[in-house]
Structure 1
């Protein structure tokens, strides 16, 4: 960089103060509360980006990010810097193709644990291993998987505006974990609709629908059964002596093999979270993760 260019960078000064920006909820310490947001930031911080992340974290806490939008394959943001006009930021990550999503949805449907948690609005920690086993890692393994753009004059990638967007994105994942899956190509509605459709196809039962509008002849429409009544609807009552031989049998066919979660050697590390900064913080966690993988079973 030439001397005149260095002088221009030195003239930028502090960022312009803004009102109504997206301010990080964490005023100090680590950003990110859920396992998925912490995991995302651990991966990012493992790339050894140094002070750029520190300055970006300050931007995020000061409310310099004016807007943030997550779409399949792309995150867009507007960040106010030291110049009057805010900067346009984008972070692209290749979404999973439709065929791969279909495979993942089949896997999720086949394991009731995942379907139940997702339908309840939660992302179980074991989901990361399921995606990895399907050849679709949820998180980028290197900076080369991310296409980062900012129209600021700083040549560093990521610049502080991109870094601030990363931190606000992690908090967006905290607020709605489905935003992470949306970035990878499936919105909440698309994924849950696909899981429901597969469950209906597997069980042969449909979701309850609105009752037909009554005809001119007054009729009484019984409400659709719910809860246990819905589960028992349509079953015939058989005297107990005639069913003793199958009393303990499963009412529905069981799969040929029990569902199994694919876990890695670093499962305990992910459950415990990052240690305190005084003993190494996320950097120590990443080094331990690599050591666990190096000394783990050869087939993992």
Structure 2
């Protein structure tokens, strides 16, 4: 989620109040500062808000993003009853809410009823797959700051986080308002024994009349495909139910396939090779891949196609580096034409970089830890290994400039 780096995180009362609650409860101001920098740099992917939690992938210093999560207690049914009764009793609140607006005075009303909406000290619990155990870590802090922008656009997201579905809340407010109006309405002439008047007929056409004819209007034209695949829903865990992370993975892949089919007009990924399909699947879901530690789900995917988790992880990293060409650079060496290859060696020498040894399309530095591989697409692919192991892994995006690619590799 990239935003204007100079824009404030919040421009409404609800967004400002959310940030104030975060900064009052944080234990480490330095992590908040790093979280603000991450959020401004666009490191936070699409945010999902559901009852009791907010989740997003946040990109850090490693190629794989981290899964950051914020949890907050949902309100009980009794809390909601008190809150909705108080909101319906205030004409200003009622009119605003039914118009899908949340006045900031509603926060004080919620506090008076004991159904607090904004998080207090200790209410917002953060977690992240990164090794930092700070409260919050910089990735969770970045997610929290970006959530303020969601509340700017739709404060009802805060009610959802507290466990209140927007449609249900509006329906309950409408029922409470209608009940109050009925109780306050004047009695009809003739006293309580007078029969109630029949309600006016609702507008429309009876179903039996609409279906009596075989003539059907034409279907509307299909909507244009979206700019990018949709996000997979975040499913709750339940005893006996499938693993929600595995379902999220499959839904993400299905959305990518459907979007490619809509935009390109042909079935995507028609290659029947199970190994290549497993590579693409592993590369499409960053939560599956590792380098030395692997989830059970990832190991099962590797074993299903007859490879080790390490081999699948390496191949997935190459696919993320350059799709089909990135995988080809990993799997096979070739003899490039002398012209561009020799010019690249001359450019490296002119830049004062270490003299590289040559092996077909590969240039390796004297320490045996950095390597450039020349692809058939004219790009240089950076690789890294631990000293003395020749265990080469893709390391960063490819570039047409070998000097910039090697300089970045040596710097890290």
TM over 0.5: yes
Q: Could you say which residue in structure 1 is the equivalent of 2:156?
A: 178
Equivalent position SS for 1:46: helix
Q: Could you say which residue in structure 1 is the equivalent of 2:48?
A: 69
Q: Is the 8 A contact 2:82 2:115 kept in 1?
A: no
CA distance in 2, matches of 1:210, 1:157: 57
Could you say if the C-alpha distance between residues 29 and 53 of structure 1 is closer, same or farther in structure 2, counting changes exceeding 3 Å?
Answer: farther
Could you say if the C-alpha distance between residues 159 and 167 of structure 1 is closer, same or farther in structure 2, counting changes exceeding 3 Å?
Answer: same
Equivalent position SS for 1:131: helix
- 2:84 aligned with 1:91: no
Equivalent position SS for 1:162: helix
Q: Could you say which residue in structure 2 is the equivalent of 1:213?
A: 206
For residues 81-116 of structure 1, the C-alpha deviation after alignment (integer angstroms, 9 at most, x for no partner) is 111221111111001101110111111111111010
Could you say if the C-alpha distance between residues 191 and 215 of structure 1 is closer, same or farther in structure 2, counting changes exceeding 3 Å?
Answer: closer
Equivalent position SS for 1:91: strand
- 2:151 aligned with 1:158: no
- 2:99 aligned with 1:120: yes
Quote how far apart the aligned CAs of 1:202 are. Answer: 2.2
For residues 129-149 of structure 1, the C-alpha deviation after alignment (integer angstroms, 9 at most, x for no partner) is 10010012222221x222211
CA distance in 1, matches of 2:103, 2:79: 20
Q: Is the 8 A contact 2:111 2:117 kept in 1?
A: yes
Could you say if the C-alpha distance between residues 162 and 207 of structure 1 is closer, same or farther in structure 2, counting changes exceeding 3 Å?
Answer: farther
- 2:23 aligned with 1:30: no
2:166 paired residue among 185, 188, 191: 188
CA distance in 2, matches of 1:146, 1:88: 16
CA distance in 2, matches of 1:104, 1:148: 26
Q: Could you say which residue in structure 1 is the equivalent of 2:88?
A: 109
Equivalent position SS for 1:122: coil
**TM-score, length basis structure 2:** 0.44
Q: Could you say which residue in structure 2 is the equivalent of 1:9?
A: none
Quote how far apart the aligned CAs of 1:47 are. Answer: 3.2
CA-based RMSD of the aligned residues comes to 2.3
Q: Is the 8 A contact 1:148 1:162 kept in 2?
A: yes
Q: Report how many aligned residue pairs link the two structures.
A: 193
Q: Is the 8 A contact 1:64 1:80 kept in 2?
A: yes
2:30 paired residue among 51, 59, 62: 51
User: Bigger shift: 28-37 or 94-103?
Assistant: 28-37
**TM-score, length basis structure 1:** 0.60
Q: Is the 8 A contact 2:18 2:118 kept in 1?
A: yes
Structure 2 unaligned residues grouped into runs of 5+: 186-198, 210-412
Equivalent position SS for 1:67: coil
Larger gyration radius, structure 1 or structure 2: 2
Q: Is the 8 A contact 1:67 1:79 kept in 2?
A: no
Q: Is the 8 A contact 2:72 2:124 kept in 1?
A: yes
Structure 1 unaligned residues grouped into runs of 5+: 1-21, 217-300
Q: Is the 8 A contact 2:25 2:120 kept in 1?
A: no
Bigger relative contact order, structure 1 or 2 (CA pairs below 8 A, ≥6 apart): 1
For residues 23-82 of structure 1, the C-alpha deviation after alignment (integer angstroms, 9 at most, x for no partner) is 234x22631011011011012122353121111111111111112111111111111111
CA distance in 1, matches of 2:25, 2:111: 20
Q: Is the 8 A contact 1:24 1:168 kept in 2?
A: no
Equivalent position SS for 1:181: helix
Q: Is the 8 A contact 1:178 1:188 kept in 2?
A: yes
- Give 1:236-275 correspondences, 5 Å limit: none
Could you say if the C-alpha distance between residues 81 and 209 of structure 1 is closer, same or farther in structure 2, counting changes exceeding 3 Å?
Answer: farther
For residues 154-179 of structure 1, the C-alpha deviation after alignment (integer angstroms, 9 at most, x for no partner) is 12221110011001101000011100
